[in-house]
């Protein structure tokens, strides 16, 4: 995903010579093509995320689109007040990019688990929150994010994720949800890099004779309420999957739409069960521990369908 | 209350001039007016931070009388100098300076803190001509100022960025992050002014988190540091002229303006109470009398 991001960003940087990327001293081996090709559009702010974010807000006021880049919680929670006051309140044209959303850096420990970012960024007025699910979604989201006015947050997973869509996504617009497969028995709604697990879970469900519709939400704020209501009308059970605390994030955003519209379907949320992980393990291992890997999504969905 | 007369706010705050023309381009006159408005605005609104407003009066007055290249007729002109008041709680000093210099009507100053006003207690840029950036949480101004200065550098533009910090504000780590970045990015178009009144929210700085040796701290970060009497408009003007002469040197400049919190009213000076207290009743009258005696 991060490579797709850099590819997409480099295309945009060629088009817009005022586009500027600021890193908080991270991106070794990832951003190198960018800084070698566009040295004048690249800034290393050092290990100083608060000031990096304020700097981006100031720089954006000289007529530039400015991206801040770091990993985990560093570009977000570390500097949340700078995002709130200096970026969001000023409607600053700053795009915050996180690599490592969720449990990507599983073995590095809790400090590196980004599992509240979607909830917290979603709560900031005027901030658009992007959660692409595969490299093709990233390529579709990046140019749209750069067209979106004001402050945006782009939550990426890591490198090396498989492509899950059959073809490049054309003309994607905020906040369009994307259907990856049609189904009849249950709808699996997914936000972010956990889409690999959601798709794989749908395959497992198919083997058990359950036909699951899979819909990815590359944008959770604003959210594609129309699509959620369509799913609510067609399915008795919706399962919202995110690699994030179940409090305040994607599942909560879906719940808000359902509740406010008086929908009668059941919503089940899969994600971190409102806790921090002190267990050491890879991303996939921890997904298993916290019951959000493909096997767990399949098993829990079967339980919910047939209690 | 006898002071709430039928006079307009502007008539009342200008009354000491007895109808004579007021030269707001004179920094001594503007500094006096900033104090007069600071007193009236915190009185009417029952607001705080009069000590910080008084501390800043000569700094703001000097900046807005020939140091900053700004134009009230065209507040958004691209080549204007940018000023960020990072110690946003002293926003009344900026509002007063802007109003007196013609950016918006003086009469509007009476709406400071009021329901529906655009003049919030901490300085806000929304809908206020001449304010570049909203602050209020300390430690936010310098990073944003550095970002603007970096943009000007990248554009080879000639405008400068000024950022006014409090000394207590320099407890915030983000100030020093930005200080490192500004030197690294050779932002010699960035001029910081520290309102060095030696007091912060609960006590003197030295009893809280000691900042000394303060000028040497900035110098050790690669900055040029100029120390000046923050209530002497000639000394401040000279310091700013020296700071402006730095383009091409690659070093940002800090002007450390030695000030007195509450300057201008004897019982407010160096008294932490007046970080919070609002001037009412006899205290308001006594403060007004002292200010009137100082009118230039």
End-to-end CA gap in chain B: 28
Q: Which residues 75-94 of chain A have a CB within 8 Å of chain B?
A: 81-82, 85-86, 89-90
CA A177 to chain centre: 13
My answer on whether A71 and A115 are in the same domain is yes
**Percentage with pLDDT > 70 across chain A:** 100
pLDDT category at A212 given cuts 50, 70, 90 is very high
Which residue blocks in chain A are alpha helix, DSSP H? 2-15, 32-37, 49-60, 80-81, 117-122, 135-147, 195-207, 225-234, 250-260, 283-289, 294-305
**Residues A144 and A189 reside in one and the same domain:** no
Residue A130 lies in a domain: yes
Determine the Cα–Cα distance for residues B136 and B120; give it in Å rounded to an integer: 10
Q: According to the model, what pLDDT value does residue A292 have?
A: 98
Residue B138's SS3 state is coil
Rounded Cα distance, B75 and A141, in Å: 36
**What's the whole-number mean pLDDT along residues A5-12?**
97
Q: d(Cα A52, Cα B149) in Å, to the nearest integer?
A: 14
Residues A141, A6 within the same domain: yes
Q: Are residues A17 and A85 in the same domain?
A: yes
* Residue A162 belongs to a domain: no
Instruction: Report if residue A172 sits inside a domain.
Output: no
CB proximity B250 to A under 8 Å: no
Torsion of CA A45, A49, A51, A57, to 10 degrees: 90
Q: Which of B125, B206, B222 is nearest to B171 (CA)?
A: B206
pLDDT (0 to 100) of residue B247: 87
| Buried/exposed code over B136-166 (b: 16+ C-beta within 10 A; e: otherwise) | bbbbbbbbbbbbbbbbbbbeeeebbbbbbbb
Shared-domain flag, residues A253 and A300: yes
The verdict on A133 and A219 lying in the same domain is no
CB B284 within 8 A of CB B39: yes
**Do A138 and A204 fall into the same domain?**
no
For range A51-58, the mean pLDDT: 98
Q: At which residue do the structure tokens 């000031």 appear?
A: A51
Q: How many CB atoms lie within 10 A of CB A28?
A: 8
User: Could you tell me if residue A170 is inside a domain?
Assistant: no
pLDDT for the residue A1: 94
Which residue from A48, A56, A85 is facing B147, i.e. has the nearest CB? A56
Residue A285 within any structural domain of the chain: yes
pLDDT surpasses 50 at A260: yes
Q: What Å distances lie between residue B265 and B30, B258, B269, CA to CA?
A: 17, 17, 6
- Chain A residues with CB inside 8 Å of B153's CB? none
Q: What is the pLDDT of residue A287?
A: 97
- Tokens 């919910």, located at residue: A304
> Integer distance in angstroms from the first to the last C-alpha of chain A?
37
Contact present, A247 and A274 (Cβ < 8 Å) = yes
Distance CA B174, CA B176 (A): 5
Taking the CA of residue A58 and the nearest CA in chain B, the distance in Å comes to: 4
Regarding beta strands A212-216 and B190-196, do their DSSP bridges make them parallel or antiparallel, or are they unpaired?
Answer: unpaired
Q: Tens digits of per-residue pLDDT, A27-36?
A: 998 999 999 9
Residues of B with CB below 8 A from A85's CB? Answer: 134-137, 140
3-state class percentages of chain A: helix first, strand second, coil last, to nearest 5: 40, 20, 40
Q: Is residue A94 part of a domain?
A: yes
- Indicate the DSSP class of residue B5: -
* Co-location of A239 and A193 in the same domain: yes
Residue B133 near chain A (CB below 8 Å): yes
| Overall domain count for chain A | 2
Cα A15 versus chain centre, distance = 25
Question: End of a domain among A156, A190, A225?
Answer: A156
Query: Strand A219-221 vs strand A128-130: parallel, antiparallel, or unpaired?
Result: antiparallel
User: Rounded to 5 degrees, what are φ and ψ at B123?
Assistant: -65, 135
Is A54–B136 a contact, with Cβ atoms under 8 angstroms apart? no
Q: Which domain holds residue A182?
A: 178-305
> Could you tell me the domains of chain B?
4-293 (3.40.50.970)
CATH number of the CATH domain containing A229: 3.40.50.920
Tell me whether residue A69 is in a domain: yes
CA–CA distance, A51 with A135 (Å, rounded to integer): 30
pLDDT at residue B4, rounded to an integer: 53
- In this structure, the answer to whether residues A227 and A117 fall within a common structural domain is no
Compute CA distances B105 → A99, B4, B9, B95, B123, whole Å: 49, 20, 11, 10, 17
Are both A230 and A198 inside the same structural domain?
yes
pLDDT of residue A14: 97
Q: What's the complex ipTM?
A: 0.95
Q: Please count the CA atoms within 13 angstroms of the CA of A145 that sit on its side-chain side.
A: 33
SS3 content of chain B, % helix, strand, coil (to 5): 45, 10, 45
Cβ(A135)–Cβ(A161) under 8 Å? yes
pLDDT of amino acid B2? 46
Residues of chain A found within 8 Å of residue B147, distances taken between Cβ atoms: 54-62, 66
What is the DSSP secondary structure assignment for residue B63, as one 8-state letter? Answer: I
Tell me the pLDDT of chain B (296 aa) as tens digits: 445 568 999 999 999 999 999 999 999 999 999 999 999 999 999 998 999 999 999 999 999 999 999 999 999 999 999 999 999 999 999 999 999 999 999 999 999 998 999 998 888 898 899 999 999 999 999 999 999 999 999 999 999 999 999 999 999 999 999 999 999 999 999 999 999 999 999 999 999 999 999 999 999 999 999 999 999 999 999 999 999 988 888 999 999 999 999 999 999 999 999 999 999 999 999 999 999 999 99
Distance CA B89, CA B94 (A): 10
Helix (H) or strand (E) segment spanning residue B11 = helix B9-14
The answer, for A55 touching chain B at a CB cutoff of 8 Å, is yes
Do A126 and A206 fall into the same domain?
A: no
* Tally of CB atoms within 10 A around A226: 12
The number of beta carbons lying within 10 Å of the beta carbon of residue A202 is: 24
* Nearest beta carbon to residue A51 from set B151, B155, B178: B178
pLDDT tens across A106-157, in order? 989 999 999 999 999 999 999 999 999 999 999 999 999 999 999 999 999 9
Task: Please indicate, yes or no, whether residues A151 and A290 belong to a single structural domain of this protein.
Answer: no
Whether residues A64 and B139 touch (CB distance < 8 A) is answered with no
CATH number at residue A128: 3.40.50.970
Q: Is the pLDDT of residue A167 over 80?
A: yes
Instruction: Please report which confidence band the pLDDT of residue A307 belongs to, taking 50, 70 and 90 as the band edges.
Output: low
């Amino acid at each position: 995903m991060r490579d797709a991001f850099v590819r997409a960003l480099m295309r945009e940087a060629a088009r817009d010579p005022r586009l500027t990327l600021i890193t908080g001293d991270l991106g070794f081996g990832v951003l190198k093509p960018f800084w070698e090709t566009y040295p004048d559009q690249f800034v290393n702010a050092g290990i100083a995320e608060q000031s990096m974010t304020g700097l981006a807000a100031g720089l954006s006021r000289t007529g530039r689109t400015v991206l801040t880049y770091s990993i985990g919680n560093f570009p977000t929670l570390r500097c949340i007040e700078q995002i709130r006051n200096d970026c969001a309140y000023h409607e600053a044209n700053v795009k915050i990019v996180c690599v490592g959303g969720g449990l990507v850096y599983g073995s590095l420990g809790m400090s590196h688990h980004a599992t509240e970012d979607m909830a917290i960024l979603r709560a900031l007025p005027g901030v658009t929150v992007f959660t692409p699910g595969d490299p093709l979604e990233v390529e579709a989201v990046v140019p749209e994010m750069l067209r979106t006015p004001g402050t945006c947050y782009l939550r990426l997973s890591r490198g090396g994720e498989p492509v899950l869509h059959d073809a490049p996504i054309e003309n994607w617009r905020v906040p369009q949800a994307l259907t990856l497969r049609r189904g009849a028995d249950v709808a699996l709604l997914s936000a972010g890099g956990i889409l690999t697990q959601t798709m794989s879970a749908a395959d497992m469900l198919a083997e058990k004779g359950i036909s699951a519709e899979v819909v990815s939400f590359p944008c959770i704020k604003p959210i594609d309420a129309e699509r959620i209501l369509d799913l609510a009308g067609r399915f008795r059970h919706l399962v919202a999957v995110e690699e994030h605390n179940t409090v305040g994030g994607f599942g909560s955003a879906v719940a808000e739409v359902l509740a406010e519209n008086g929908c009668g379907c059941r919503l089940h949320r899969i994600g971190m069960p409102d806790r921090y992980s002190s267990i050491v393990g890879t991303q996939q291992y921890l997904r298993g521990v916290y019951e959000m890997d493909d096997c767990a999504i399949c098993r829990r969905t079967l339980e919910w369908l047939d209690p | 209350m006898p002071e709430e007369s039928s006079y307009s706010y502007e008539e009342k705050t200008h009354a000491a001039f007895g109808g004579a023309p007021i030269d707001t381009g004179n920094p001594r006159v503007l500094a006096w007016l900033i104090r007069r408005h600071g007193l009236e605005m915190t009185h009417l609104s029952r607001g705080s931070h009069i000590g910080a407003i008084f501390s800043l009066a000569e700094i703001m007055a000097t900046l807005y009388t020939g140091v900053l290249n700004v134009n009230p007729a065209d507040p958004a002109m691209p080549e204007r100098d940018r000023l960020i008041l990072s110690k946003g709680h002293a926003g009344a000093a900026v509002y007063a300076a802007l109003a007196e210099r013609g950016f918006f009507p003086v009469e509007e100053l009476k709406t400071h803190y009021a329901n529906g006003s655009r003049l919030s207690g901490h300085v806000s840029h929304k809908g206020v001509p001449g304010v570049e950036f909203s602050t209020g949480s300390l430690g936010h101004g310098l990073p944003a100022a550095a970002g603007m200065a970096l943009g000007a550098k990248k554009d080879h533009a000639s405008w400068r960025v000024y950022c006014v910090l409090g000394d207590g504000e320099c407890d915030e780590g983000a100030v020093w992050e930005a200080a490192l970045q500004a030197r690294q990015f050779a932002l010699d178009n960035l001029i910081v002014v520290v309102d060095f009144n030696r007091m912060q929210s609960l006590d003197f700085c030295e009893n809280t988190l000691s900042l000394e040796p303060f000028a040497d701290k900035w110098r050790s970060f690669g900055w040029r540091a100029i120390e000046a009497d923050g209530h002497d408009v000639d000394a401040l003007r000279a310091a700013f002229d020296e700071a402006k002469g730095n383009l091409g040197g690659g070093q940002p400049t800090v002007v450390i303006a030695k000030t007195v919190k509450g300057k201008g009213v004897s019982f407010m000076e160096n008294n932490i109470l007046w970080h919070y207290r609002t001037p009412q009743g006899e205290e308001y009258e006594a403060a007004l009398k002292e200010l009137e005696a100082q009118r230039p």
